[in-house]
Structure 1
Amino acid sequence: MNNYYSMSVLAVIAIAGISINAVAQHNYKLVWSDEFNNNALDEKAWNIEENGDGGGNNELQYYRRQNISFETDSASGAVCLVLTAKKESYNGKAFTSGRLNTAGKACFKHGKIVSRIKLPSTANGLWPAFWMLGNDFGSVGWPRCGEIDIVEMGNAEGIKHNTQDSFFNGACHWGYYNSQGQYPNYARSTTSDYSLQDGEFHTFTLEWDDDYVSMYLDQDKYPDAQPYYKMGVSDYSNDWGTGHYFQHEFFIVYDLAVGGNFTGITSSTGITALAQGEAKMYIDWVRVYQDSDDLAATASIPDGWGAGIDNVATTPTDKPVVIYDTLGNIVSEMNQGIYIVKTGDEVKKVFNR
């Protein structure tokens, strides 16, 4: 969610350390999730941001609590967390929207972080994002805390080429500003073969370990797809080395920004995406898995998460109830560990026994 200057090709190759065809094997287990089925935000896990400071990017919205809600998606029937961007004047801003984070409450080092999201039409001027910041942001500031942008849409290049519905990117920012006002970063844009603003849900996945951060689109549908973004995070060779900035806990952020440098639109007159008054970003769930063999992985989660029943859906259903372990295997009984109860494709309960 920040601007970045273009690094040289050699620098990008050295930092990314890309070996796209390398496949690592993982023994992932669920360590935390929010299924957003309770029609109320769990503020033991989430912080709602309320400000109009522009995010350091000349954004045009004022973030308000009132722009964060819960709705049942009419197509899928899933109860979702919803961020709504509105064309309305508030505290000197022409637009309002929603942003929330898990800073100091649900923070993770390493793992597989996945979210199922239905994105709004961004043309022109909306900037939805699912991303992470280092949990030391409050003490060391940005970009020293590190930033991982798992997905962003609405970029000026997509507007320029009329590919806003399929043009998206992942990025990382880290380090500190040098005397020329530059800092290290690596961003990679991709044009999908299909629309990501088609009224359907899509999954966005970050896989992160000692060596790499890798990002995947719709991995549930295309498990063999290559990452749309991959960067090495094990370089300690100098003060800007990625290893210094991506080996500690990060927190999760969702927001739906209006305008800003990323979109190339910094005046309210250029925003056409809210011509009908509002636009919504639906978040069905977010899940964090960690590799049981990764001894460096850590997780700081709210007290009592998963103790008993978490995120109970109360809507009656005649679909069969099936219990899965965190590897996706159907089980007949629950012993010790974390289990997921589903009816059809919808998660109903998460148990930690």
Structure 2
Amino acid sequence: MAKGVAVFGILTLALHGGLGMAQTGWTLAWGDEFDGPTGAVPDAAKWRFEVGPGEKVGGNQEAETYCSPADDPGPAPCKAGQPNAYLDGKGHLVLVAVRSDQTVTLAGKDEPVYTSARMISVPAFRYGRIEASLRLPEAGKGVWPAFWALGQETGGVHWPAVGEIDVMEQWNPVAGAPDKIDPLVVRASTHGPKEPGSNVGYVDQVGEFRFPGPPSGGLHQFAAEWDPGQVRFYIDGKLCSTQSVGTLNGKEVWEQDRQPFNLLLNLAMGGGFFGYPDASTSPTPTMVVDYVRVYQRDEAALPRSWGSDDVGGPALAGSARIDKGVWTVAGSGFGIAGRFDQFQYAYRGLSGDGEVTAHVIDQTSKVAQAKAGVMLRDGHGAAAKFAMAFVSPDGSVHFRFRNAEGDVPSEVPYKGAATWMKVGRSGNVFTGYVSVDGKSWTAVGNTKIAMPRDLTAGLIATARDNKAPNIARFDYVDVTKSDAAYDGLAAELPGAVQAEEFDGGGMGYSYSAEFGEAGPTVERMPDVSGTETSAGGEYLTGLKAGRYINYAVRVAAEGDYRFVVRERSKGAGGSLHLNLDQKPTSKPFALPDTHGAWLMAEGPIVHLPAGEHTIALVTDTGGGNGDLADIDLFAVRAR
């Protein structure tokens, strides 16, 4: 909730519901669905409340007083019997700011005081997917709702060095324009020091997003996928902003890898850099929270280069897992039928022509319109284009497709029975097939869909019921090998690329054949928090000279960029160079001795054209032990 100056851009959203892409399986680590009787206080085992004047609790010259819903609500104007945070008895948390008859003097002016609430999660989290479903207050002067995460001020380390991730905040009025209210724009941001050890100023990476209608009109899903070196922000399933070590400039410091963060929900009223409530502001601005969830990556759930995703944001979290050749996909939600889908999707990348095939063993749902099948899909938005073949619990089999984003899908029913499903692509022609034995296939139908080269291919399960999941089991799952990116989507540059997320096609497709079918060796580093050199996540190790590893990227604009790599070595780290679309784009450069710590090493300046390309890390010489330094990630930064 820090003051913002640098804005990445404004994206207009037209989708409702949906999660963004995930790169591995997820497991629900913590959450609050806010179930309980009307008027109950939030679970004290999950949340604690900060109490006191906003300018002291939250800074930013805030004008509200934060209160507790406990028996001792806090200083005046907090009142017992007038809670600012309570359950509504329908599975929601309500945060309400209430206008009082007090004022507070800030910057020489008397500003109105509201009572409000600021909640902090009891547990802290490091990495994963942070997600909440919120209905924002109606926009009005001084109304400042936020869902965010903050590092802990321990050991003499204070903000901004603790780091900050703002998943969602809405400023009213617009900063620098005290008379302008924009009810459609929300913000997501990351903060840290402007240079090492500095408490003067801070990094302010910001994405601004514009809704097609006021977000106070209904629930919307706000999420941040937090990985070492990078945070991706999603609204209603649409990737809205990527902020990382690669989007920093100069001496700015990325502090989101330091330690676990606590989650915060609060409704501030006024700030020194954008203005305060006035007579036009509602006396009771209200934010409704449907749920808060934290997911952690389940590295053992799915094979490398596969991921799983709750497309469309169903009420029940789904899952996907493989065990001894059997894939289990559990999905809730009302989909796939209308303009916006809800289902669980287990997927991998597919480039160009190819197909996905699977045998549906069984499914638990008894709802006739539930589904289990295979899909080729253009992205993870709830309204994305797709082609799929599926079987329902009543035995009906269909080939279904959406030809344009946001359209109601069309379908071709199959008149027989089948449990083997296949969807193939040849250019822009997508065909659905079925079989009773996996040997003899019947084409059900085909359609033309204008799709990009890179898609995702995988398994779906949906229940047509938000109260119970459909648990579908599959075997004989197969996706045509390709040189697709790890998760089917090119990495955005400037930005960071996780070293272990190389293009996943396999030997001869995405990396040197000398690695073997499994590819480069990937290991997980200990999660050592609280230090500047802690990185977390996975890394590549045992890299010999004369190897290459490909990464699909999308360069925002042509220009000269600085290449940096987070590496670890004891002794000389060897050398590598970069290829762009199979041609050298840099000279070899040495990776320095880091004495066993994870550090960012500055590499060469490279010229990159705009658009989609393949960048390869090419190892030239080994280090002191014969291997290249371990590599956690690399970043391409604007100069």
TM-score of the pair, normalised by structure 1: 0.69
Normalized per residue, which structure has more strand? 2
Letter of the 2:143 partner, please give it.
L
Q: Secondary structure, in 3 states, of the residue corresponding to 1:197?
A: helix
Q: Secondary structure, in 3 states, of the residue corresponding to 1:140?
A: coil
Normalized per residue, which structure has more helix? 1
Matched, 1:64 2:67: yes
Matched, 1:85 2:85: no
Q: Distance in 2 between matches of 1:134 and 1:112?
A: 16
The range that moved more, 228-237 or 91-100, is: 228-237
The range that moved more, 252-261 or 149-158, is: 149-158
Q: Which of 218, 231, 250 in structure 1 is aligned with 2:261?
A: 250
Deviation at 1:194, TM superposition (A): 2.8
Q: Deviations over 1:193-252 (max 9, x none)?
A: 232121x11110111112420111111xxxxx3x2221114799987431x443421110
Q: Distance in 2 between matches of 1:115 and 1:30?
A: 13
Which has the higher Rg, Structure 1 or Structure 2?
Answer: 2
Partner of 1:209: 227
Percent of aligned pairs with the same amino acid: 26
Q: Distance in 1 between matches of 2:113 and 2:316?
A: 48
Q: Secondary structure, in 3 states, of the residue corresponding to 1:31?
A: strand
Q: Which of 212, 219, 232 in structure 2 is aligned with 1:193?
A: 212
Deviation at 1:180, TM superposition (A): 9.4
Q: Distance in 2 between matches of 1:214 and 1:121?
A: 26
Aligned residue pairs: how many? 281
Letter of the 1:252 partner, please give it.
L
The range that moved more, 252-261 or 175-184, is: 175-184
Q: Distance in 2 between matches of 1:252 and 1:56?
A: 17
Letter of the 1:3 partner, please give it.
K
Q: Which of 103, 106, 112 in structure 1 is aligned with 2:123?
A: 106
* Unaligned ranges ≥5, structure 1: 13-21, 73-77, 220-224, 295-321, 334-341, 349-353
Letter of the 1:62 partner, please give it.
T
Partner of 2:159: 142
Q: Indicate conservation of the 8 Å contact 2:53/2:64, yes or no.
A: yes
Q: Deviations over 1:324-346 (max 9, x none)?
A: 7544606869xxxxxxxx99536
- Specify whether residues 245 and 30 from structure 1 end up closer, same or farther in structure 2 by C-alpha distance, changes over 3 A only: closer
Letter of the 1:345 partner, please give it.
N
Q: Distance in 2 between matches of 1:324 and 1:91?
A: 44
Q: Deviations over 1:138-163 (max 9, x none)?
A: 85111111000011112433877956
Partner of 1:345: 466
- Specify whether residues 94 and 30 from structure 1 end up closer, same or farther in structure 2 by C-alpha distance, changes over 3 A only: same
Q: Which of 21, 32, 35 in structure 2 is aligned with 1:34?
A: 32
Alpha carbon RMSD of aligned pairs, Å?
3.6
Partner of 2:442: none
TM-score of the pair, normalised by structure 2: 0.40
Q: Indicate conservation of the 8 Å contact 1:149/1:172, yes or no.
A: yes
Q: Distance in 1 between matches of 2:5 and 2:67?
A: 30
Partner of 2:133: 116
Partner of 2:281: 273
Q: Indicate conservation of the 8 Å contact 2:41/2:85, yes or no.
A: no
* Unaligned ranges ≥5, structure 2: 10-19, 69-82, 105-111, 301-314, 321-328, 332-362, 366-462, 470-639
Matched, 1:288 2:294: yes
Deviation at 1:84, TM superposition (A): 0.8
Q: Indicate conservation of the 8 Å contact 2:316/2:468, yes or no.
A: no
